[in-house]
A and B are shown apart, each in its own frame.
Chain A
Amino acid sequence: MAKRTRSEETKNPTIKARELPKVATGIAGLDDVLHGGFPAGRTTLVSGGPGTGKTIVGMEFLYRSAVNGEPGIFVTFEERAEALRKNTLSLGWDLAPLEKDGKFFLFGAHVDPQAAISGDFNVKGLLAIVEGKAKSMGAKRIVIDAVDVLMRIFDDPVRERNELYALHDWLNDHEMTVVLTVKTSAGGDIMPRYEFLDYMADCVIQLDQRVIEQVLTRRMRVIKYRGSSYIHKEHPFIITDNGVNIIPVSTVELQHKALGPKVSTGHHRLDTMLDGGYRRASCVLLSGTPGTGKTTLANTFVAAACERGEKVLYINFEESGEAMVSGMLSAGIDLRPALRDGKLRLMTAAPEAMGAEEHLFQALRAIEAFQPDHVVLEAMSSCNRMGTKQAAYEYLIRLVNACKEEGLMMILTNQTAGFKNENEITGMDMSSIIDTVIFLRLIDIGGEINRMLMILKSRGQKSSNQYREFLITDKGIDVLDVYVGGGGVLTGAARQEQEAKEVLDARRKRLEIELREHNIKRKRAEMEAEIARRKAELETAEAELKALQLDEGLVQEGRDIRGRMRDEDANSLRLKKRVLPRKERGTRLKEGTK
């Protein structure tokens, strides 16, 4: 981060660079804020309450100048030179060799508090020393720390003012680039008697430190910069073992990398749902209520990415690294090889441990040092404990932006209470920078809790918009289709039950059909049998009839024969035989046959 901002400064010559010569401050981020650096040959005033870092700002400016071969003079009225050397050494800045080489001069200028005062005087002694030293060292840079302490000897605001103007003019005449520090009251306002310093100086920087919800927060702001543009905002800054780090609140347009190629989520079904996987340089949000499997889903990706040889930085505000690794083991995800091979780096901290700026700085430094391909942050919701909601928001926005600028993929997890809109899922309005949202939830059906997963949003790729059942087994995660029949989405035992019921129903139906078919067949068989029987009956009847007829025919024939024979006999006797019944019948029969 520090290196980056400094190199950026050299890369893009600042807007007003031609109009006003500037001197690089050597302080991470400050050149960005000042659009180049301190005004060369002029006075910069750094004001702030006790402990806000004024001395360190001045010291870092001169130290880095000296290291780069540019000599400087540091005059302190407040601290003893020896104490200051020691403090400086604790930041890793060793002044001794620089002092020996004549690149740095530390002047512990003590005003004897017991000195008697008789008549008028001025600060010519100081000027003589500074001039003498500057000449012998060739120094053009000077820091005058706690100038208010020197001015106290005048014990008169008007004289203080005159002397400061004289000092200022003298320094300007000598074309010294000056950083003047002055204490302000605790409230952050410059003391009324030093207000004129704001007018006198060409560039005024105010440092401030506040405790917001038990977290120390440092801010800096440029009040004015004569003849130059600068970023008109309050910038968070931190003091680390590496010096002052200002994190400029950028006003320039975002320089995000375009979304890159697909990268597997670590599970084939999820890849399918996302049309191939997550995308590089995207920001993925895994959101859900506690216990929905956010960590497991994130680590499914982590394990897969590390196995492919990609590097992952895992920032965890929720649990210790050890706890997470063992927790994942029970879900069948073994992170140990990735840790052993240095593919996975865990960064755990309590959100309350430091301010949001410090957290941001640590994260950015880890990204710069580790050069990961992906960053996981667990969890957005815990960032609120860094202080204010605003601080958490800034932390997240800037971390995500930094990842996007570097082309890293980022997974954020977030714990939510409900889900109605995206803001509720993210907990804050971050929708513009989140590319993919996977929503996890628990549902309670049939006295059983089951996990569900849904892709709410996925920028730049097709995705399934259906709920899936999300299982965490001892062999990792699984994503299953859910029952989407008439009764809505069903999962777990309810789904199984439903599925079993359907199988049974189907079998029952099949059986019924078979039964009916069988019945029909049987009925047809019965019918056919009946037909056959009836046919047989009919045939029998016909046969009987025939037989009868045949019999009858034979009888008749016999009769006919006999009749003919009788007729022939009786023709002569017809009248006589008519009354006889046998004769009658015989006659009728004879008539019927006719």
Chain B
Amino acid sequence: MNRSERKAKSKGTEAQGETYILRLFMADNESNSRQALENLERLQETHLKMPHKKEIVDVLEDFQMALENNVLVTPCLILASPLPKVTVFGNLSDTEKVLAALRLT
């Protein structure tokens, strides 16, 4: 986690100006997945001022996407662009951590 934070800080500036692609993998409507979606939506409002794209994948419906993205756990948020790719496991309840991981601090 520390490593992710450090990485996010050092490379954060490069991300400016590019389109953000966020992919959230969830499992149907189980509580963690619902919480993750809610948390992500809140973040969108408060922190994602730049143009961005949000994709929601239900692994139970599209396992192929999970397979392609090597998603073993849910919920799982992937910052697909700009590179480097970042993965965040969990219901995204720790806003600070999520922002740090997504290079948004």
A and B bound?
yes
A residues lining the B interface (CB < 8 Å): 107, 109-112, 114-126, 128-129, 131-133, 150, 153
- Beta-carbon contact of A116 and B100 below 8 Å: yes
CA–CA, A159 to B4, complex, Å?
23
Distance (whole angstroms) from the CB of B1 to the closest CB of chain A: 6
Residue from B59, B64, B88 in contact with A115 in the complex, judged by beta carbons closer than 8 Å: B88
A111–B94 alpha-carbon span in the complex (Å) = 21
| B4 in contact with A115 (CB, 8 Å) | yes
A interface majority secondary structure:
mixed
Complex contact B27–A124 (CB within 8 A): yes
Distance of A116 Cα from B7 Cα, bound (Å): 11
Residues of A near B59 (CB, < 8 A) are 124-125, 128-129
Which chain B residue lies CB-closest to A134?
B63
Question: CA A191 – CA B75 in complex, angstroms?
Answer: 29
B3 interfacial contact with A, CB 8 Å: yes
Complex contact A125–B27 (CB within 8 A): yes
Q: Can you list 12 pairs linking A and B with CB atoms under 8 Å apart?
A: A111-B72, A115-B88, A115-B89, A116-B4, A116-B97, A119-B90, A120-B90, A121-B91, A123-B74, A125-B76, A132-B64, A133-B63
Are B97 and A125 in contact, with the CB atoms below 8 A? no
Is A121's CB under 8 angstroms from B87's CB? Answer: no
In the complex, what's the smallest C-beta–C-beta distance from A39 to chain B, in angstroms? 26
User: B: which residues have CB within 8 A of A?
Assistant: 1, 3-5, 7, 25, 27, 30, 32, 35-36, 39, 59-60, 63-64, 66-67, 70-76, 86-94, 97-98, 100-101
Cβ-neighbour of B32 out of A116, A117, A122 (below 8 A): A122
Residues of A within 8 A of B87 (CB): 112, 114-116
Known A-B contacts A115-B87, A116-B101, A124-B27; the reply to A132 vs B63 at CB < 8 A is yes
CB pair A121 B74 closer than 8 Å = yes
Closest to A135 in B: B63
Q: Which residue of A lies closest to B100 (CB)?
A: A116
A4 to chain B, nearest CB (A): 41
Residue of A whose beta carbon sits closest to that of B92: A118
- Most B CB contacts (10 A, CB to CB) among A107, A121, A128 go to A128
Q: Which residues of A contact B3 (CB under 8 A)?
A: 114
Given contact pairs A115-B89, A116-B87, enumerate 10 new A-B contacts (beta carbons under 8 Å). Answer: A116-B4, A117-B97, A119-B91, A121-B32, A121-B75, A121-B76, A129-B63, A131-B63, A132-B66, A133-B63
Beta-carbon contact of B93 and A107 below 8 Å: no
The CA-CA distance from A126 to B66 in the complex, in Å, is: 8
By the criterion CB–CB under 8 Å, are B63 and A116 in contact? no
- CB neighbours of B92 from chain A (8 A): 118-119
Query: In the complex, how many angstroms separate the beta carbon of A328 from the nearest chain B beta carbon?
Result: 65
Contact B70 A128 (CB under 8 A): no
With A117-B89, A119-B92 already in contact, the answer to whether A124 and B74 are too (CB < 8 A) is yes
- Are A118 and B91 interface neighbours, CB within 8 A? yes
Note all chain A residues with C-beta closer than 8 A to B91: 118-121
Chain B residues with CB under 8 Å of A131's CB are 60, 63
Contact partners of B72 in chain A: CB under 8 A? 109, 111, 123, 125-126, 129, 150
Q: How far is the CB of B62 from chain A (nearest CB, A)?
A: 8
Contact (Cβ within 8 A) B60 A119? no
Specify which of B7, B66, B67, B98 lies most central, judged by the most chain A CB atoms within 10 Å of its CB.
Answer: B67
Contact B70 A109 (CB under 8 A): yes
Q: Which 3 pairs between the two chains have the least Cβ-Cβ distance?
A: A132-B63, A119-B90, A119-B91
Separation of A124 and B74 alpha carbons in the complex (Å): 6
Interchain CB contact under 8 A, B70 and A112: yes
| Chain B neighbourhood of A123, CB < 8 A | 72-74
Report chain A residues within 8 Å CB of B30: 124
**B9 CB, min distance to chain A CBs, angstroms:** 13
Q: Which residues from B are CB-within-8-Å of A109?
A: 70, 72
Asked if A118 and B71 make an inter-chain contact with CB atoms under 8 angstroms apart, the answer reads: no
Residue contact B64 to A116, C-beta cutoff 8 Å: no
Cβ A118 vs Cβ B101 within 8 A: yes
Q: Is the CB of A153 within 8 A of B35?
A: no
